[in-house]
Structure 1
């Protein structure tokens, strides 16, 4: 069954949910996992792509856009909520509602910041996962 982790940036925490997604993608990739970052829109997809290029000066996260980049060369892919390709390892979810394909992933990481709209959407997603019986964990991030 899919493990769902909510990573919650505390008030005054470093960055936003996009920078948190970059941190989680780097950690998952460096641990040998394949990652799909699901975004709400093409604009968010482009923002995440740019962010992964400049995330940290000392490192590079090999990434590309789902459907355009070679998955063999890019263990981190960025897509929109509509498609997941063949990915099934780690899903980092930046969407406002749960992508339909979430349950085929081993792990789902929900990135939560203090923005009112996304924060409320994350609360609804938590209730959904809980109601379906998925194992949940909450991590408070400063």
Structure 2
């Protein structure tokens, strides 16, 4: 059963949420874990692809869009199943992934945007109702 964590940001800036996703992806990759970054749509996936190249000047995070290489250490996609199971899912979509059970760890990144806050609260309850023990982590 995956470990579920909600990382809570103190502001409502969407750019900081994406940067937090990149930092967490880098940390998981450095720990030797495969990462699936789940964007909310194709535009956000493209933004994440560009951001992973530029968010940190002194570090390269090997990544690909799922359609380019699904077995990359860090994969960016939507609802595709992970090529590497038991990795880390960083979910930026407001809905739960259909592949939650295939990951060892699921990270939901929350900021203070009212719509996102409500969706994440609903997701927290859904995880709990499904037998998971989600945790809250303040950033």
TM-score of the superposed pair, with normalisation by structure 2 = 0.92
Runs of at least 4 residues of structure 1 off by over 2 A?
A: none
**Is residue 57 of structure 2 the alignment partner of residue 57 of structure 1?**
yes
- The match for 1:136 among 110, 118, 134 is 134
Q: Secondary structure at the match of 2:56?
A: coil
Q: How many equivalent pairs are there?
A: 138
Q: Output the CA distance in 2 between the equivalents of 1:103 and 1:30.
A: 23
Relative distance call for 1:42 and 1:10 in structure 2 (3 A) is same
In structure 1, the gaps of 5 or more residues are: none
> How far apart are the structure 2 equivalents of 1:85 and 1:105?
8
TM-score for both structures, normalised by structure 1 = 0.90
Root mean square deviation of aligned Cα: 1.8
SS of 1:43's equivalent? Answer: helix
Provide the rounded CA distance (Å) in 2 between the counterparts of 1:96 and 1:139.
Answer: 18
Q: State the distance in 1 between where 2:77 and 2:114 align.
A: 24
- SS state at 1:16 partner: helix
Q: Indicate if the aligned counterparts of 2:70 and 2:82 stay in contact, CA closer than 8 A.
A: no
How far apart are residue 67 of structure 1 and its match?
2.4
Looking at structure 2, the residues matched to 11 and 78 of structure 1 have their Cα atoms a distance apart, in angstroms, of 24
For residues 39-98 of structure 1, what are the alpha-carbon distances to aligned partners after superposition, in whole Å with 9 as ceiling and x for unaligned? 111001001111111110111110001121262xx2000001x21242321100001100
Aligned to 1:79: 77
